[in-house]
Structure 1
């Protein structure tokens, strides 16, 4: 690995010289693919034909075109030849659902623009309320399924993300109520996601999925989001926080985020996006796909680069995905997805000390820190409609993540150099004067997960049963070295660990369909065996230790469809999160520690309602009552503390989402729209007996204090205007309430910056997009942090500042 220092500055400092080849390649590819593209009419419309499994036309099918976020809904009925159609539909992301008694629901998603779209359906005999092709890969399928879902569900669609021209995953997730997406290096490469007042650190209290498959490098042995897929890869993001999340796992304490990749398009489709901006920003994205016969293909490649929030921070990303889906028979299908992600970044770990932040919040004393990482993944899925009332999905996956990270200081408490160690012989004394540390790791994850859905009746009552199992294995190879100089890329071996996890899990969820009522009890069982091998232990002969853990996770949910537009829901479930292998098994002795798993009881009551055409409101009350929340052993906070049983905590609050679109009400081409996501967490406190150690060694009680990094209020508000196929302009405010950086609830900043209040702040963004009909090109300008204000976003490793003002512009060409 080579180290290249990059100057931080505006676009243009060597940008064209360095990135002319990839830009030229993208443009040439677009011109080549556009050569045989046919011109299309400008009027947006969707049409198609519906047949049964034998290929016969099916008349009388109700076809519903929906845009759930705005409350848009239109219905058409197939004619004698099975044809349907919708004309003059505003552009955007839609779902199309086909309903007919005696047949299972069929559903597809489309993005309507300035050309007609043809969507064909094949109906299968049965009574499933969800398209069986979505089983296992999605949290929620059709709108009909959502009405029966006993919990809060939020969906971010691609058109909403594109209208805002989101720069990072954090910016996107703040649009979801209940989510606290904390910034880190300013690039959103490793989001810290907190849910309903839980700690956002490394997203360990959230379960992250991609098409239903865990994305963390070790979801059972170390559920941290050191790797996170880029937001540009996805068509939508699903978030579930209710009792329904027990059908996934292992983590159920906060919520589930499922990132959905786009399916191969029905017709041939190509899109090219190019954008650039301040702080050496460039993003090139090419997507091409289509369906030939019964096989669809999607090819997606992205190149992204930018400077970070501070000096001497920069990242280059390359992301490549191929997705293939084939319908083998009317009842069977397979799909495969292959992905490669590469990251070359000039990034470290340490934040700033208080004096450093006051002097210059954008400074970075460590110019030689570097991360070089790659991640390869493969997922294969087989789906079959075994009988009219029995659907099977089996998914196999393998992922390999290889990071190599060198840093001079892991946190601000390691500076200045220890005067008692002038020769820097203490491995803990890692400072700019004393060299660096480097961690080389290899994480391998593989597993298989079959799921079955059965639609049946008992004693005349309609019922659905979901049952599934997972066999999962993890291998963590971790080495830590101490280099002699800040630029060293090899050194003294301090740690050489192999950590493995073998896990088996199963779940059962049963839905009683009682007219307007849906009652869903369920249970999940997790069993895992961890092993830790310290190859350097016992004077080089090695130390091995292991531990096992079994947990039963029950849940119960109720949904009541008060009307076709209003659904109430309530639920309770067991929250569970396993401890990390490194905290569960002692490195020196191999003995099991007394660290327990995180356990809680999670309850919520809420409703989602389409109040009027164009006006949708969701709201829920929630409570998370922890029996044992794992937190830093030194409750004064700060990085470097070991983890321990934190005891009881209580989180209680309200969250709501509102969306309004005037065009849905007026059926016109002019649309004034608004989006609001709000979270209020008045209670997030330590309720058990707990003591904290002050710097002088004195023990004080922190019972009743607020949990760190739990802001009381979170608000995201977007107001915009859209003229169909012409213009979209919007302004957005993202507000974050004040937080404490430690359980002592310290207000003044400590010397190392790791303790103290994080004041509230509001970040303003704006974006404008212009659409040209022929060729089908759109141009955009986006500004992040309009006021160019600087805020503190984190203190855990020292003070980290917010992103500076970013100005970005670009174009997108679709054909």
Structure 2
């Protein structure tokens, strides 16, 4: 599916890159010892003040903001950012489904996920549905980009980008220890030690970090005569990491940085939900048929990065990276008693799921291994042309990744009392045995131009992708395909004063399909996004505020027909979608404004969104939640209203914080039905609505010493019960009321 219509522009862009980099590299002068500017280039934003130089809307969430509430769930952290939509699934944020500005939420497939500026999804080209998120609790901050601010980041550019910032190497000796204990026998440990020292060979820095989280889980599985471990529904996650840095004694500034991180995670998590009546009686219940469900993952991630800055006006950052991810999600796929989604909506087979009838349980080993690696480089040159100041950034990335599936399906024979009487174990890879791979070259160029109080930032992005599928069980699925896509945009703004800025932009985005879609003739998703906004930040830090109106027109929106045991799990083109709305956010410190001896900050983030289909859905497959959608229908899982507000009291020794979140109800299918009925009129628990809900979280701390702090809090203080999703298989709850206490030391 080679897009010849893009070829002239692609060749022009590539030629511009080849010409720009040597010219920039030759412009070398004396070195500058201040490395702050070049080090910030590996971040999406760098620090909160840098938002005012970004050509579009962006947000930065510092770790202190989410550690106050004991958050380790990216869903809860991102509630403070407008324009972000989150379909919860497991209550802990293990498998987030994130949307920015109205793209499909499924598995965060339309969001470019990064850690420290490196692609973080296991295989972002060949398997963009991530099933993965970096662990929020070990991060130093989260950065979010939307609209015309995302030109530098791909391959998904129709929604936006999220960058997880890991703990940086400290510039002076620092030791951090945090221990936490809470509901459901949960405990966490976070520790790191690092320093940067002067040596005969230059400045040497190091960081050693360890993160652990373990819980028994908040759900309970129905027991049977041969199964009594119903309270084991939690997970275990362990993550060590090391970083090393060296700044040699050279005339030009050089810095080498190495990072290696490892994750070992195991969770007794399931796709299986409940019937709506059973959910209303006990949302934390799990049927006995889910007793075997477990996901086991292992992740290695590493990069080697070089910073080079011969003078103040030129920076070059080059990163070679490698990621390896393996997982096996062993979970219920089907039963002999009937379709699972139909059973959960009142059809046949519910007694089988509850362990009250004889049947066969088919449990699939969803084994997948992923690998991604590549090298990327970004060169930034600052110069003046007359009265215009330029900051030109040019980037190039070569990337390869693959997803390999070797799946089998075992059968457990269940008696009428729920006891397992026999089992059949099938050969490794007998259900699915294929490899999808992708090879990509990405190029971008962006120029921030300043003239007095005006600034404008045009940019272009081009990606060439080669796909291949090798199906060892069915060679008719094999094939190769190439795709060329181009996007870009322009952001502009005016600084009315040092405190007040107006900005706007237009962005042409793209979202490429995976190998199966590309080989099957699927079109890439494209978008045209407009935004207009204004920011205010007082010099004294009392008040910050932002308002942004946005409109995004999607064409050939790519969606996954179903994340679950029904449907093919393949992607498809939904059609045309329009998403528009308003984002409001702000912070105000009453204590600082009144000159009090304590701080009394308030924050607010509100999003209004109307995301609707502008054409009838292309799919008539009743098993797809995106089938039978009519023009004018709402896009599933995109709420119309979202609101997050909060306040705090901060004294010298103690403080307390309040955070309140409201999320509107949503349709869970493109045909926008309120009942559990699919497009063919058959019962299906994935169809219907989610609940609207309001959550109240509390946090508090007390300083025993300047470097020692006790903390605690409560999540979901009012113990609300609510349906957050009907995917993958039937109604699923948010986590119930939980508490936590702990101690934090900084030495």
**TM-score for both structures, normalised by structure 1:** 0.78
User: What is the alpha-carbon distance in structure 2 between the residues aligned to residue 270 and residue 489 of structure 1?
Assistant: 49
Out of 201, 221, 246, the position equivalent to 2:151 is 246
User: What is the alpha-carbon distance in structure 2 between the residues aligned to residue 545 and residue 396 of structure 1?
Assistant: 29
Contact 1:187 1:309 in 2 (8 A): no
Which moves more between the two structures, 303-312 or 233-242?
Answer: 303-312
- For residues 265-308 of structure 1, give each alpha carbon's deviation from its aligned partner in whole angstroms, at most 9, with x where no partner exists: 12211111111111121101111111121111111101101244
Instruction: Establish whether residue 733 from structure 1 lines up as the match of residue 660 from structure 2.
Output: yes
Q: 1:490 to 1:308 in 2, by over 3 A?
A: farther
Which residue number in structure 1 is paired with residue 19 of structure 2?
Answer: none
Matches within 5 A, 1:195-274: 195-274=100-179
Query: What is the total number of aligned residue pairs between the two structures?
Result: 670
Instruction: Establish whether residue 631 from structure 1 lines up as the match of residue 559 from structure 2.
Output: yes
CA-CA distance at 1:170 after TM superposition? 1.2
User: What is the alpha-carbon distance in structure 1 between the residues aligned to residue 628 and residue 511 of structure 2?
Assistant: 28
Out of 673, 678, 687, the position equivalent to 2:601 is 673
User: What is the alpha-carbon distance in structure 2 between the residues aligned to residue 735 and residue 763 of structure 1?
Assistant: 7
Out of 398, 402, 407, the position equivalent to 1:480 is 407
Instruction: Establish whether residue 131 from structure 1 lines up as the match of residue 37 from structure 2.
Output: yes
CA-CA distance at 1:414 after TM superposition? 6.9
- For residues 167-219 of structure 1, give each alpha carbon's deviation from its aligned partner in whole angstroms, at most 9, with x where no partner exists: 41211111111112221111111111111233322111211111111101111
Out of 576, 583, 596, the position equivalent to 1:655 is 583
Contact 1:438 1:489 in 2 (8 A): no
CA-CA distance at 1:721 after TM superposition? 0.5
State the secondary structure of the residue aligned to 2:68: helix
Which residue number in structure 2 is paired with residue 33 of structure 1?
Answer: none
CA-CA distance at 1:122 after TM superposition? 3.6
CA-CA distance at 1:147 after TM superposition? 2.8
Which residue number in structure 2 is paired with residue 78 of structure 1?
Answer: none
Contact 1:351 1:412 in 2 (8 A): no
Contact 1:638 1:796 in 2 (8 A): no
- For residues 548-588 of structure 1, give each alpha carbon's deviation from its aligned partner in whole angstroms, at most 9, with x where no partner exists: 1100112111021111111111111112111122333xxxx
CA-CA distance at 1:401 after TM superposition? 0.2
User: What is the alpha-carbon distance in structure 2 between the residues aligned to residue 453 and residue 788 of structure 1?
Assistant: 51
Out of 674, 678, 690, the position equivalent to 2:617 is 690
State the secondary structure of the residue aligned to 2:128: coil
CA-CA distance at 1:653 after TM superposition? 0.1
Contact 1:472 1:502 in 2 (8 A): yes
User: What is the alpha-carbon distance in structure 2 between the residues aligned to residue 438 and residue 687 of structure 1?
Assistant: 39
Out of 270, 276, 294, the position equivalent to 1:348 is 270
Which residue number in structure 2 is paired with residue 748 of structure 1?
Answer: 675
Which residue number in structure 1 is paired with residue 460 of structure 2?
Answer: 523
Which moves more between the two structures, 507-516 or 143-152?
Answer: 143-152
Q: 1:268 to 1:536 in 2, by over 3 A?
A: same
Q: 1:562 to 1:434 in 2, by over 3 A?
A: same
CA-CA distance at 1:758 after TM superposition? 1.4
The runs of at least 4 consecutive aligned structure 1 residues that moved more than 6 Å come to 416-421, 486-489, 694-697
CA-CA distance at 1:749 after TM superposition? 3.4
Which residue number in structure 2 is paired with residue 555 of structure 1?
Answer: 489
Which residue number in structure 2 is paired with residue 52 of structure 1?
Answer: none
Q: 1:412 to 1:484 in 2, by over 3 A?
A: closer
Which residue number in structure 1 is paired with residue 329 of structure 2?
Answer: 405
Q: 1:353 to 1:689 in 2, by over 3 A?
A: same
User: What is the alpha-carbon distance in structure 2 between the residues aligned to residue 543 and residue 162 of structure 1?
Assistant: 48
Which residue number in structure 1 is paired with residue 735 of structure 2?
Answer: 803
Matches within 5 A, 1:528-543: 528-538=465-475
User: What is the alpha-carbon distance in structure 2 between the residues aligned to residue 748 and residue 435 of structure 1?
Assistant: 28
Contact 1:406 1:439 in 2 (8 A): yes
Contact 2:320 2:375 in 1 (8 A): yes
User: What is the alpha-carbon distance in structure 2 between the residues aligned to residue 213 and residue 292 of structure 1?
Assistant: 27
Matches within 5 A, 1:441-520: 441-485=368-412, 491=427, 493-520=430-457
Instruction: Establish whether residue 791 from structure 1 lines up as the match of residue 722 from structure 2.
Output: yes
Which residue number in structure 2 is paired with residue 110 of structure 1?
Answer: none
Out of 297, 300, 303, the position equivalent to 2:212 is 303
- Kindly indicate whether structure 1 or structure 2 has the higher relative contact order, using CA contacts under 8 Å at least 6 residues apart: 2
Instruction: Establish whether residue 766 from structure 1 lines up as the match of residue 698 from structure 2.
Output: yes
User: What is the alpha-carbon distance in structure 2 between the residues aligned to residue 734 and residue 598 of structure 1?
Assistant: 32
User: What is the alpha-carbon distance in structure 2 between the residues aligned to residue 659 and residue 216 of structure 1?
Assistant: 32
The unaligned stretches of length 5 or more in structure 2 are 1-27, 221-231, 353-357, 413-419, 678-682
Out of 289, 310, 332, the position equivalent to 1:386 is 310
Contact 2:366 2:405 in 1 (8 A): yes
User: What is the alpha-carbon distance in structure 2 between the residues aligned to residue 290 and residue 222 of structure 1?
Assistant: 38
- For residues 83-142 of structure 1, give each alpha carbon's deviation from its aligned partner in whole angstroms, at most 9, with x where no partner exists: xxxxxxxxxxxxxxxxxxxx99x9xxxxxxxxxxxxxx9448xxxxx711222x112236
User: What is the alpha-carbon distance in structure 2 between the residues aligned to residue 405 and residue 332 of structure 1?
Assistant: 44
Which residue number in structure 2 is paired with residue 370 of structure 1?
Answer: 294
User: What is the alpha-carbon distance in structure 1 between the residues aligned to residue 545 and residue 623 of structure 2?
Assistant: 51
Q: 1:197 to 1:700 in 2, by over 3 A?
A: closer
User: What is the alpha-carbon distance in structure 1 between the residues aligned to residue 72 and residue 313 of structure 2?
Assistant: 44
User: What is the alpha-carbon distance in structure 2 between the residues aligned to residue 364 and residue 678 of structure 1?
Assistant: 34
User: What is the alpha-carbon distance in structure 1 between the residues aligned to residue 585 and residue 591 of structure 2?
Assistant: 19
Matches within 5 A, 1:132-151: 132-135=38-41, 137-141=42-46, 145-151=50-56
Which moves more between the two structures, 159-168 or 551-560?
Answer: 159-168
Out of 650, 654, 679, the position equivalent to 1:722 is 650
User: What is the alpha-carbon distance in structure 1 between the residues aligned to residue 526 and residue 210 of structure 2?
Assistant: 41
Q: 1:668 to 1:264 in 2, by over 3 A?
A: farther
Matches within 5 A, 1:142-181: 145-181=50-86
State the secondary structure of the residue aligned to 2:440: strand
Which residue number in structure 1 is paired with residue 517 of structure 2?
Answer: 583
Which residue number in structure 1 is paired with residue 18 of structure 2?
Answer: none
Which moves more between the two structures, 794-803 or 352-361?
Answer: 352-361
User: What is the alpha-carbon distance in structure 1 between the residues aligned to residue 347 and residue 714 of structure 2?
Assistant: 46
Q: CA RMSD in A?
A: 3.0
CA-CA distance at 1:696 after TM superposition? 12
Contact 2:694 2:720 in 1 (8 A): no
Q: 1:356 to 1:476 in 2, by over 3 A?
A: same
Q: 1:676 to 1:235 in 2, by over 3 A?
A: same
Contact 2:245 2:255 in 1 (8 A): yes
Q: 1:641 to 1:336 in 2, by over 3 A?
A: closer
User: What is the alpha-carbon distance in structure 2 between the residues aligned to residue 261 and residue 182 of structure 1?
Assistant: 24
User: What is the alpha-carbon distance in structure 2 between the residues aligned to residue 688 and residue 610 of structure 1?
Assistant: 41
Which residue number in structure 2 is paired with residue 183 of structure 1?
Answer: 88
User: What is the alpha-carbon distance in structure 2 between the residues aligned to residue 432 and residue 214 of structure 1?
Assistant: 44
CA-CA distance at 1:333 after TM superposition? 0.7
User: What is the alpha-carbon distance in structure 2 between the residues aligned to residue 595 and residue 379 of structure 1?
Assistant: 33
Q: 1:733 to 1:460 in 2, by over 3 A?
A: closer
Contact 1:680 1:712 in 2 (8 A): yes
Which residue number in structure 2 is paired with residue 361 of structure 1?
Answer: 283
Contact 2:387 2:451 in 1 (8 A): no
Which residue number in structure 1 is paired with residue 524 of structure 2?
Answer: 597
State the secondary structure of the residue aligned to 1:134: helix
State the secondary structure of the residue aligned to 2:92: coil
Contact 1:309 1:802 in 2 (8 A): no
State the secondary structure of the residue aligned to 2:184: coil
State the secondary structure of the residue aligned to 2:82: coil
Q: 1:369 to 1:647 in 2, by over 3 A?
A: same
User: What is the alpha-carbon distance in structure 1 between the residues aligned to residue 211 and residue 65 of structure 2?
Assistant: 20
Matches within 5 A, 1:23-62: none
The unaligned stretches of length 5 or more in structure 1 are 1-102, 107-120, 125-129, 425-430, 585-591
User: What is the alpha-carbon distance in structure 1 between the residues aligned to residue 569 and residue 619 of structure 2?
Assistant: 12
Q: 1:696 to 1:235 in 2, by over 3 A?
A: closer
